[in-house]
Amino acid sequence: NRLDQNAVLGPHDQVGNFHFLNGFSGHGLQQSPAMGRGIAELLTYGGFRTLDLSPFGYGRIARAEPLVEKAVI
């Protein structure tokens, strides 16, 4: 995504039954195992159980609040 080049994971806040899992911008190889598990938990249980991946939610895009990476070299 253009806002922060991080993944978008979770439901759209205005379109029912629509979930995001996209926008990795090069991070896909590192993040895809956790994101795959996260979307499976979200769809199966209605929430994250293993890792809290809510910071990657669509809400930050709608609010124009980028997810700032603190460990970038």
Confidence at residue 33, expressed as pLDDT on a 0 to 100 scale: 93
What is the reported pLDDT for 64?
A: 96
pLDDT at position 2, please? Answer: 86
pTM of the model: 0.85
pLDDT per residue rounded down to tens, the chain (73 residues): 889 888 999 999 999 999 999 988 777 788 899 999 999 999 999 999 999 999 999 999 999 999 988 776 6
Q: Domain limits at 30?
A: 8-62
Beta strand extents in 1-73 (DSSP E only): 8-11, 19-22
- Does residue 24 fall inside a structural domain? yes
30 in any annotated domain: yes
Domain for residue 2, yes or no?
Answer: no
Number of domains in the chain: 1
Q: What is the CA radius of gyration of the chain?
A: 12
H or E stretch at 43: helix 28-45
Whether 72 is in a domain gets the answer no
